[in-house]
Amino acid sequence: MNIIELRGVEKQYHSKTALSGIDISVGERDSVTVFGPNGAGKTTLLKIISGLMQPTKGKAFYNNKAYSESDIKKEVFYLGHKTALYNALTVKENMDFTCRLFSLNHRGGSVEKTLREHGLWERRMDPVNELSQGMKKRLALAKGFITNPEVFILDEPFTGLDLGWRSSVLSKIKNIRKQGKSVIISTHLVEEGYALADRVAFLHKGKLLFIKKKEETEIGEIYGLFDSLGENIR
């Protein structure tokens, strides 16, 4: 069963077309990785999927309901290039605030449990602005975990991370999948994105070149597409 579906979606900014003719669906427990070079429209696509941006044309559905009639924003966690953390607050205060925002009445034990699972409990009293970029990503993911959404939408979750932190974030995303959640990520990092996917898509100049099952797509095909576009990502 598809829980998210876009049909004929287009997005225009003034005279520029950012997305054109997008048809994509995400099923229960599904994991979709959207590859593409910088400027392909990946961020725009993920913002539309998350309900944060309206398409110029086309329709978006959540559980067979139009987004305007659904609880899409309550059921989706979106992590973009900015982590949406409050830098002046401590790690724990950020988590407590998230719990209040979502009216979660179990925050005491859950905050500690979630921070421990993400390796942040020992830093709970530290202001966010003292954290490394990798720890900020982990805290942002922890906020997603505690709200227990059905769908995680992660835009370039590995950007700015060294190999150690990249591996840590990759592990956390795999844990999301083990909990039966649906995951949509965008990335230009082929190895990581391919490892997480049930299905892979490639976006270029606002158009989906393909979306298909991972077993139907060799990883070399994805590298080859990047190479053909003059993108040196190896």
- pLDDT tens sequence across 89-103: 999 999 999 998 888
Give the confidence band of 230 by pLDDT, cuts at 50, 70, 90.
confident
Q: State the Rg of the chain over Cα.
A: 18
Q: What is the CATH class of 2-228?
A: alpha beta
pLDDT at 118 over 90: no
Q: In sequence order, what E strands does 57-111 have?
A: 57-62, 65-66, 76-79
pLDDT value, residue 81: 85
Return the SS3 of 27. Answer: strand
Cα separation, 102 vs 74, whole angstroms: 9
The answer to whether the beta carbons of residues 111 and 95 sit under 8 Å apart is: yes
pLDDT value, residue 20: 97
Pair of tokens at residue 39? 């400027």
pLDDT at 220 over 80: yes
